[in-house]
Structure 1
Amino acid sequence: MKKLLSIVIITILFYACVGNDKIILKESIGKINKVMVVAKISDWTGDIGQEIRNSFGELMVGLPQPESILSVSQVAPTGFSSMMKASRNILVITEGEKENFLVKRNVYAQPQTVLYIQGKDDETIIKILKERKQEIRRIFLDSDIKFTQNIFAKEKLDDSKFATLRNLGVSLTIPEKFRTVKDTLNFLWLRNHLTSGIAKTGSNNILVYSFPIEDETTIADSIVSVRNKIGKMHIPGSDPEKMHMITEKAYTPFTFDAIIDGKKAYETRGKWEVKNDFMAGPFLNYTILDKKNNRIVVVEGFTYAPSVNKRAFLFELEAIAKSIKID
């Protein structure tokens, strides 16, 4: 009887492992915003590698220090070991008669994004890399956004406790490490005090507010003036009479079209500073057209982390902002 029971248990476990990828696949590894490139050394040291480094190495706009959009490392196909295959973001470059651009998920681990690019020669591969540069970067960045949001969702605040979010009919996936600075029914300010390294005197901040749509054609041009108005009203410096947050005058922000929660939006990246003070840092602003409710909803993140790189901090804020749901 015991022998029969053992056989039944082993059989069940066998079929469970074969039929369920989540059991078979190991957990992926790797830093956020980093891509492992699988390519021959001759390709990596040649024009193909240079094109990849140029594309992924373009500088993020809005940061005070030069930081690339994505970090990249390379491994030869012969060195693409089991440990390497567990990387979360992988770009595979191969030569073949047929051109190919293919994205697969969870090939060797999970969560994982593997992008395959194939061409008959260097020129063909470089052509694909150039023509689809924005798409390639967006594939890996979006994967990391989703990965980060899933982590935050495991230990998130109950956003229904915030009066402003309830009043605006808005929900966000907010990590537990954030604390309330201000919650007025119409304006929410959350802060996470950074605790690691020399950034421990800094903070990550989230803002949420709304205002009526007056002229849809001027929304993009008014983003800076609106955030300056909000800064004066709600974000004071050490001397509230003389100091408050403004958009840095010496740096023109970059604004791009975006889609947030299925709605037309504008993504603005730039630098903030405190008027009459020396505090400053990068910000990321999403101005969202909520036509159903005839209003603009704004979710913004800004970072204060002097003397350290800020890409990772701002990326966390981007993941939070893009989790917004508007009723």
Structure 2
Amino acid sequence: MKKIIAILAIALFIVSCGGGKKGEITLPSSTGNTNRILVVMKGTDWIGKPGDEIRRVFGEHQVGLPQPETLLSVSQIDPSGFGSFVKNNKAVLLFQKADTADISVIKNKYAAPQVIVVATAKNEEEMINLIQTRGKEIIQIFKDEDIKAIQNIFHKERIDHTQLATVKNLGIDITIPKRYRLVQDTLNNFLWMRQRLQSGIARGDGTNNILIYSVPLTSEDSIVDNITKVRDSIGEKFIPGSKEGMYMITEKAYAPFTYETQIDNKKAYETRGKWEVKNDFMAGPFLNYTVVDKKNNRLVIFEGFTFAPAVNKRDFVFELEAIGKSLKIKE
């Protein structure tokens, strides 16, 4: 009887650890929130110059937000404490001593989804130099993985595109979670959807909003100069305020930041800034992706904007970024 019980216990352990395929092991779910990383570094380094450099590089403010918020939130633990459930953190920056200064990436080692960036250096001087020269690269690694994780979650709960006239008419594909509700979907190819922020990955009071539309491509040289003009004309036409003469515009006192990027392997422009309602006190951050669709001689535009008074907004905008970056133009 004892042998039978032992065999059953072993079998149960194998089943609980086994994956969908023979020989695979099911990893535990990772812990930790979006845009937050765990730095594994000696306490003496953390309170010294290497830690100061991490706080400087990783503490840079995200552009386009009303209040100062860092690109990433960072916490630290000594290597001696990096064990047990702490290893299940979804985003880890692990410092180790080695003869060569470099970084490497390990995915899903202790949990899933998980990314561990291993940073090696010979001494304190090399460690500081590594953070200075490759800090932005490390930040982008963590942010890209967070985007993928959010997109995977949203893909499992995406809305039915066949119900959205604008998405169908524009010939695009985009992953929008079901928690977004339709505000407007016109035959003029303009879509507005809204999510109440009481649920989801990022939570708080207020709303996240999505706009999708297109305009003709007249000249590639004037795209950047016209991004604000186009969004202001869309705001006047489709995004009204509470009274006549009120509508959404780009905030006059804050110049947006525009960067060249790629969406669906196509040339695009990312613009971050702040919106406001003309003649009113409503305001917040926006994120705009203007995608150059040369084949169809048009610009396909995704915009997300947040209204969440008196709370931090970085993670709300990050959700919108994940949705915007899922946009694909069907060939």
TM-score (norm 2): 0.92
Identity %: 53
* Code of the aligned partner of 2:229: S
Q: 2:181 matched to which residue of 1?
A: 179
Q: Does 1:137 align with 2:139?
A: yes
Q: 1:105 matched to which residue of 2?
A: 107
* Code of the aligned partner of 2:11: I
Contiguous gaps of at least 5 residues in structure 2: none
Matches within 5 A, 1:240-279: 241-279=244-282
Q: 2:11 matched to which residue of 1?
A: 10
Q: Distance in 2 between matches of 1:13 and 1:31?
A: 30
Q: Do the aligned partners of 1:198 and 1:308 also contact (CA within 8 Å) in 2?
A: no
Q: Pick closer, same or farther for the CA change 1:129–1:257 going to 2, 3 Å.
A: same
Q: Distance in 2 between matches of 1:128 and 1:303?
A: 36
Q: Distance in 2 between matches of 1:106 and 1:146?
A: 14
Deviation digits for residues 209-250 of structure 1 (CA, Å, limit 9, x no counterpart): 0111100011011110110011011111111x3111000000
Q: Does 1:301 align with 2:304?
A: yes
Cα distance, 1:123 vs. partner? 1.2
Q: Do the aligned partners of 1:199 and 1:307 also contact (CA within 8 Å) in 2?
A: no
Cα distance, 1:16 vs. partner? 4.1
Q: 1:151 matched to which residue of 2?
A: 153
Instruction: Say what the alpha-carbon RMSD is for the aligned residues.
Output: 2.1
* Code of the aligned partner of 1:19: G
Q: Does 1:217 align with 2:221?
A: yes
Q: Distance in 2 between matches of 1:307 and 1:191?
A: 19
Q: Distance in 2 between matches of 1:195 and 1:121?
A: 47
Q: Do the aligned partners of 1:199 and 1:306 also contact (CA within 8 Å) in 2?
A: no
Q: Does 1:231 align with 2:232?
A: no
Matches within 5 A, 1:57-206: 57-185=59-187, 186-195=189-198, 199-200=204-205, 202-206=206-210
Q: 2:31 matched to which residue of 1?
A: 29
Deviation digits for residues 127-172 of structure 1 (CA, Å, limit 9, x no counterpart): 1111112211110001101111111112121122100000001111
Q: Distance in 2 between matches of 1:10 and 1:165?
A: 50
Q: Distance in 2 between matches of 1:227 and 1:242?
A: 17
Q: Distance in 2 between matches of 1:247 and 1:305?
A: 17
Cα distance, 1:198 vs. partner? 9.8
Contiguous gaps of at least 5 residues in structure 1: none
Q: Do the aligned partners of 1:160 and 1:171 also contact (CA within 8 Å) in 2?
A: no
Q: Distance in 1 between matches of 2:273 and 2:246?
A: 19
Q: Do the aligned partners of 2:97 and 2:121 also contact (CA within 8 Å) in 1?
A: yes
SS at match of 1:140: helix
Q: Distance in 1 between matches of 2:306 and 2:322?
A: 14
Q: Pick closer, same or farther for the CA change 1:82–1:326 going to 2, 3 Å.
A: same
Q: 2:315 matched to which residue of 1?
A: 312
SS at match of 1:27: coil
Q: Do the aligned partners of 2:102 and 2:130 also contact (CA within 8 Å) in 1?
A: no
Moved more, 257-266 or 190-199: 190-199
* Code of the aligned partner of 2:103: F
Q: 1:19 matched to which residue of 2?
A: 23
* Code of the aligned partner of 2:298: R
Cα distance, 1:99 vs. partner? 2.2
Cα distance, 1:11 vs. partner? 10
Q: Do the aligned partners of 2:197 and 2:203 also contact (CA within 8 Å) in 1?
A: no
SS at match of 1:195: coil
SS at match of 1:83: helix
Q: Distance in 1 between matches of 2:289 and 2:128?
A: 33
Deviation digits for residues 38-96 of structure 1 (CA, Å, limit 9, x no counterpart): 00001111111111111111111111111111000000000112111000000011222
1:207 to 211, 214, 221: 211
Q: Distance in 1 between matches of 2:41 and 2:231?
A: 45
* Code of the aligned partner of 2:81: G
4+ aligned runs moved over 2 Å, structure 1: 9-18, 194-200
Q: Does 1:281 align with 2:284?
A: yes
SS at match of 1:52: helix
SS at match of 2:62: coil
